[in-house]
Amino acid sequence: MSLIELSGLIAALCWTATSLMAPKLIAEFGTFRFNTVRIVMASSMLLIIAALGQTFEANLWEHKGQLIASGLIGIFIGDTFLFSSVYRLGPRRAGVLFATNAPMSIVIAWLLFDEALSYTELFACGLVTSGAMIAILYGKRKNLLSNSKGASLEETKGALWVGVLIALTAALCQVFGAILSKPALLAGADPIAVSAIRVSAAGVSLFVAYSLYYHKKNDPNLAPLSAIPLMSYAQVLLLGFIGMVVGMSVLVWGIGKGNVGIVTTLSATVPVLILPILWITTGQRPAIGAWIGASLVVVGAALIVLY
């Protein structure tokens, strides 16, 4: 496995960590407010890094329109929906649904760029998708909610079908966001600078949307921003650094150097990485359905990489 392919796995590891850290912070900040604070913090870090590295070059600005659109679709919409699904479904189930971005990326690349799919790739896409569905339908232990430690990470908030639809929309937006960033990377733009433009576009949009509309829709039970402890802000900063500064930049680098479908597929291994971590943190062994679903995701990803 090359370092380019490994970038997808590194991104998956980063997103696994953030998925586990996010639910408590989302409950404290509220979904939209949490995502706004996280993205604004991440964009500030990326802009500082890119400025210090002097990576804002001409080949970057030639594609600024596509990169802004990439940030709006993939991060502004996609990440907001993703963390909403994490809050509604829990990190494991949101993760397996988000894993469908792998077959989505291959199918969309075929439709937009006329890239032919082999029978093996079609079969692999089917494995990844069916694995995600099996994990969502049969991966929950019946006695999980009796354990208060595991309940907070697995409890469904609101209608299940709404959470599923939100997670699938997040996956689709992530795919389009990745595809839109590809031309700039092929032109030689620096991955950190590309990430800085994408994340900054999303950060500005989130801040404007929150200031003009969403702050009026906050749950009255949520504490005002001034009353939230500094430790919570520090945790959001850490989450933004891991997920956006490290994870997103590594993924962008991999997309620029390699095949979108392969890198995206490997980044969709979050369900596999999250199983043992949930086992440790909740004390609950995942149900057989979760293992079967995750295994199918692994086999499908392996087939795409190998063939």
Mean pLDDT of the 7-32 span: 84
124: confidence class by pLDDT, cuts 50, 70, 90: confident
Whether 229 has a pLDDT exceeding 80, the answer reads yes
pLDDT digits (tens, 9 = 90+) for 177-195: 988 888 898 888 899 999 9
Q: How far apart are CA 305 and CA 6, in angstroms?
A: 11
Mean pLDDT of the 69-92 span: 85
pLDDT higher at 139 or 234: 234
Q: Buried b vs exposed e over 211-228: b needs ≥16 C-beta within 10 Å?
A: eeebeeebeeeeeeeeeb
Domain ranges for the chain, please list them: 3-306
Q: Is the dihedral of CA 34, 36, 41, 43 positive or negative?
A: positive
pLDDT digits (tens, 9 = 90+) for 142-156: 554 445 445 555 667
pLDDT digits (tens, 9 = 90+) for 155-167: 677 778 888 899 8
37: confidence class by pLDDT, cuts 50, 70, 90: very high
Q: Given this model, what pLDDT does residue 294 score? A: 79
72: confidence class by pLDDT, cuts 50, 70, 90: very high
Mean pLDDT of the 13-37 span: 85
- Residues 78, 127, 113, 167, Cα dihedral to 10°: -10
pLDDT higher at 104 or 117: 104
Whether 85 has a pLDDT exceeding 70, the answer reads yes
Report CA-CA distances (Å) from 185 to 60, 152, 229, 249, 251: 8, 40, 39, 12, 12
Q: Given this model, what pLDDT does residue 145 score? A: 47
Whether 2 has a pLDDT exceeding 70, the answer reads no
Q: What is the pTM of this model?
A: 0.79
291: confidence class by pLDDT, cuts 50, 70, 90: confident
Whether 134 has a pLDDT exceeding 60, the answer reads yes
Whether 102 has a pLDDT exceeding 80, the answer reads no
271: confidence class by pLDDT, cuts 50, 70, 90: low
Tell me how long the chain is.
307
HEC-encoded secondary structure of the chain: CCHHHHHHHHHHHHHHHHHHHHHHHHHHHCHHHHHHHHHHHHHHHHHHHHHHCCCCCHHHHCCHHHHHHHHHHHHHHHHHHHHHHHHHHCHHHHHHHHCCHHHHHHHHHHHHHCCCCCHHHHHHHHHHHHHHHHHHHHCCCCCHHHCHHHHHHHCCCCCHHHHHHHHHHHHHHHHHHHHHHHHHHHCCCCHHHHHHHHHHHHHHHHHHHHHHCHHHHCCCCCCCHHHCCHHHHHHHHHHHHHHHHHHHHHHHHHHHHCCHHHHHHHHCCHHHHHHHHHHHHHCCCCCHHHHHHHHHHHHHHHHHHHC
Mean pLDDT of the 84-107 span: 78
Mean pLDDT of the 52-63 span: 87
- CA 12, 82, 89 angle in degrees (round to 5)? 100
293: confidence class by pLDDT, cuts 50, 70, 90: confident
Q: Given this model, what pLDDT does residue 153 score? A: 56
Q: Mean pLDDT, the chain, as a whole number?
A: 81
Mean pLDDT of the 8-33 span: 84
200: confidence class by pLDDT, cuts 50, 70, 90: very high
Q: Given this model, what pLDDT does residue 117 score? A: 64
pLDDT higher at 141 or 49: 49
